[in-house]
Amino acid sequence: MAFISGLQRLLRNSSLLPSSHFTSSIRLSSTLTSPKLFVSGLSRLTTDEKLKETFSSFGQLIKAKVITDRASGRSKGFAFVTYATIEEAEKAREGMNAKFLDGWVIFVDPAKPREPRPPPQQSQSQSSETGFTVNKTIGWTG
């Protein structure tokens, strides 16, 4: 971040580019198209309740969900937050991006739509009636 601000200062003082042109090109995706936000960089100790408490000050919170591992139940370090309006989501994004939560710096970005997954591949091996895979290897393996 310090590098970018230094570069902006250098170019602003030079006559190569107008400052408004450079500033507008640095800012990435300034407007949201959905009230859903992706929050990354979360501590493994951050809970849904802590997330709701932190993000509710920016507007009407519809949903706040920390994504957890199915096997262990521990946080994967990211979450999704949904607001009632895009304006509230934009306020939360500006207010919480690169801020500390539970001792970790979090990043708030627009959530991308979920990409469709291909159907699971059928394995080449055959299953028996009991659900075990049949190994058709002939000969001694040892």
Residue 68 domain-assigned (yes or no): yes
Residue 90 domain-assigned (yes or no): yes
Residue 75 domain-assigned (yes or no): yes
| Boundaries of domain holding 64 | 45-113
Residue 17 domain-assigned (yes or no): no
Specify the pLDDT at position 19.
40
Residue 60 domain-assigned (yes or no): yes
CB 67 within 8 A of CB 48: no
* Number of domains into which the chain is organized: 1
pLDDT tens sequence across 64-114: 999 999 999 999 999 999 999 999 999 999 999 999 999 999 999 999 988
User: To which residue do tokens 């939360």 refer?
Assistant: 92
pLDDT tens sequence across 26-72: 334 457 899 999 999 999 999 999 999 999 999 999 999 999 999 99
**Can you list the positions of beta strands (E) in the chain?**
36-40, 61-68, 75-83, 99-101, 104-110
Q: pTM higher than 0.85 for the full model? A: no
Query: How much is the mean pLDDT over the chain?
Result: 79
CATH number at residue 62: 3.30.70.330
